[in-house]
Structure 1
């Protein structure tokens, strides 16, 4: 494995380039959405300008559009470690979860139970809560530990009953950054005959998704979190998908995976999705892997994790030098394998928005608020109207950017406290 090729990575992203007369931009809003490589934008532009047709026609542009859709599924199969017909592409993770929760609900009966966690993004909570209201189901909420910052196995086991039918859980928290031991949690659910639905939106930009190793039934992620266009992707275990009664038009394709992809797909964005996966594979090649696309993707993540963890350590070290500042999540560098580089904090005497406004004005892009981690803020006793300051690192960020951000946080806190 070679050193992380940071300069080569940054050269692929037009938005990161210094522009004459432009103010600096430090993108640390990455948990909400990353920047995209030029190759992704080019693929989208080529598709909509030169291959713009609906599917199913016997003419060149329609055939080219059909090839884009097939290749997009193939690329995500390599990304997730599954077969192409187990990949469903949709508008976003939340819409896919609402859609699939309703199909899953067709097999549930009043009194059946769904487990959700208090560590999840609201996109993997509200669809199940509302399904329960619709069908007379029961919801069991599993808290996370503020010692480990994860959902612990014994707590999950205690929540399972003979009426539990679905477990909805996340891979990594979009507020604390903590990463669950998903394989172990899924194994507990599987032993009890429970369907598992994993939200990997926050994990996928920072770690290799391997649905075969996890043995989950469903896993969802969002391409715009890992350098791609605004699309959601769902993996579904084939044997489970085959049993689901799809909400679809009577005359539309009934084959997997297309019976779950209603209407005309966003063809140009799927072209960008393939380019996104190819960009990650390119990074793996730059890091010394010369194997197939899946192996290159794995190599890219191995190198990115090491780079991101170093930056995350510098960020947390700098934040913890500020008096009356609380970081929510794992701060011990020895445990960084159990987190992604999403860092949230509050100050005892300064509102998150007040600090973030100042950082944004300086060209440091980050977020204030609950960030849809609705259950998380409530378990932690954080005012949801105030939320947290959230800073999220991507692999194109630099040590200099983190140092500038730490200095800006420390300086602005001093200024605000001095009045």
Structure 2
């Protein structure tokens, strides 16, 4: 079975502009079926959910379909899918809800590898509850956050461990299953930021051991919103602030206000697009496993090409260890050039590889790049050898 990148690219109207997009970690390009699904939901008769009118039933069907699609993507159950405005918003909501049960002396563990969306909500909720925050550090030379790094700061008072499944800055992938097992051994929950992992391979929330797994559809070809998965039995135990007339059923009790039906329709279409990246048979989950396994191979080959090309350019510094498990993401600087200069120069070549710290504040501080940032190049399902070569040519020219 061969991954046909030309066929995949044909689904993305934006690529006709000729730009090589390495900005997927901040938001991927959108295929036509996703845009069509959003438009269809907006232009069809839709009302608040119900069973009396056709418009009400259509809204119900959109929500049910999106829950099932999201569950298929992460290997969960539709009853455990909660939609929200973004992963950040969902994390704040759940931090506030969980913190209702925290007391002085309780502890919350966050890591210095994480995006701030999986750090600050927990730090602020813990502070408000009088709980303590403990920090798990990572090795800045390799970019590796080990299970031992986390286990070393756990205690019987640990209530929650917040950890990323993949660093949005370095791409490095902690052993989440081992971390979750360590957390479970002291009776703590694990909240996993899956935003940067989900677009790049097969996700199974049960294999990861994630009590909560949050991600963002707009990072995997979908529209701008977020969703979270947790076991329905766990969700039943959490009581967020909500409007009195609003449903107290799970998962609806966490979804404040009317859901954005058009974005849910787009999410379903994005999952379907991923499931059909390569020809396959079986259930949508089975086709997702097939397609995403082939996508991993495609992206790994491009990552090798990018890594070796950058290594051959004098003055390039790559962050993290290329031989460690990671997503197809490279963070680098070039001696004598500010990252913002590299970003701007590549843009003149129609190569989008942005520079910054990308909200991974603690990680950037640990790497020593909090002031200047670095250039981040992320490979996506539509990336080609030619795209990689264009980026390398641009960096090589800047290197002189």
**Which TM-score applies when normalising by structure 1?**
0.93
Q: Which residue of 2 aligns with 1:322?
A: 313
How far apart, CA to CA, are the structure 1 residues paired with 2:261 and 2:367? Answer: 42
2:375 aligned with 1:376, yes or no? no
Match runs of 1:130-141 below 5 Å: 130-141=124-135
How many pairs align? 400
Q: Which residue of 2 aligns with 1:273?
A: 267
5+ unaligned residues in a row in structure 1: which ranges?
A: 19-23, 415-419
How far apart, CA to CA, are the structure 1 residues paired with 2:392 and 2:29? Answer: 22
Is the contact between residue 140 and residue 366 of structure 2 (CA under 8 Å) also seen in structure 1? no
Secondary structure class of the residue paired with 1:120: coil
Match runs of 1:3-402 below 5 Å: 3-17=2-16, 24-56=18-50, 58-146=52-140, 148-284=142-278, 286=279, 289-332=280-323, 335=324, 338-382=325-369, 384-402=370-388
How far apart, CA to CA, are the structure 2 residues paired with 1:98 and 1:314? Answer: 39
Is the contact between residue 230 and residue 269 of structure 1 (CA under 8 Å) also seen in structure 2? yes
CA displacement, residues 306-329 of structure 1 (integer Å, 9 cap, x when unaligned): 110111111111111222321112
How far apart, CA to CA, are the structure 1 residues paired with 2:235 and 2:57? Answer: 27
2:387 aligned with 1:405, yes or no? no
Is the contact between residue 33 and residue 225 of structure 1 (CA under 8 Å) also seen in structure 2? yes
Is the contact between residue 113 and residue 362 of structure 2 (CA under 8 Å) also seen in structure 1? yes
How far apart, CA to CA, are the structure 2 residues paired with 1:324 and 1:27? Answer: 23
How far apart, CA to CA, are the structure 2 residues paired with 1:174 and 1:246? Answer: 29
Is the contact between residue 355 and residue 413 of structure 1 (CA under 8 Å) also seen in structure 2? no
Worse overlay, 92-101 or 184-193: 184-193
Residue 412 of structure 1: how far off its partner (Å): 2.1
How far apart, CA to CA, are the structure 1 residues paired with 2:59 and 2:233? Answer: 28
How far apart, CA to CA, are the structure 2 residues paired with 1:127 and 1:227? Answer: 26
How far apart, CA to CA, are the structure 2 residues paired with 1:405 and 1:155? Answer: 35
Secondary structure class of the residue paired with 1:63: helix
Residue 149 of structure 1: how far off its partner (Å): 2.3
Secondary structure class of the residue paired with 1:233: strand
CA RMSD of aligned residues (A): 1.2
How far apart, CA to CA, are the structure 2 residues paired with 1:346 and 1:192? Answer: 41
Is the contact between residue 176 and residue 209 of structure 2 (CA under 8 Å) also seen in structure 1? no
How far apart, CA to CA, are the structure 1 residues paired with 2:335 and 2:305? Answer: 22
Is the contact between residue 93 and residue 240 of structure 2 (CA under 8 Å) also seen in structure 1? no
Secondary structure class of the residue paired with 2:152: helix
Residue 215 of structure 1: how far off its partner (Å): 2.1
Secondary structure class of the residue paired with 1:283: coil
Residue 283 of structure 1: how far off its partner (Å): 1.7
**Which TM-score applies when normalising by structure 2?**
0.97
Secondary structure class of the residue paired with 2:88: helix
Secondary structure class of the residue paired with 2:308: helix
Q: 1:249 to 1:194 in 2, by over 3 A?
A: same
How far apart, CA to CA, are the structure 1 residues paired with 2:213 and 2:395? Answer: 36
How far apart, CA to CA, are the structure 2 residues paired with 1:121 and 1:14? Answer: 30
How far apart, CA to CA, are the structure 1 residues paired with 2:62 and 2:213? Answer: 23
Secondary structure class of the residue paired with 1:219: strand
Residue 147 of structure 1: how far off its partner (Å): 5.1
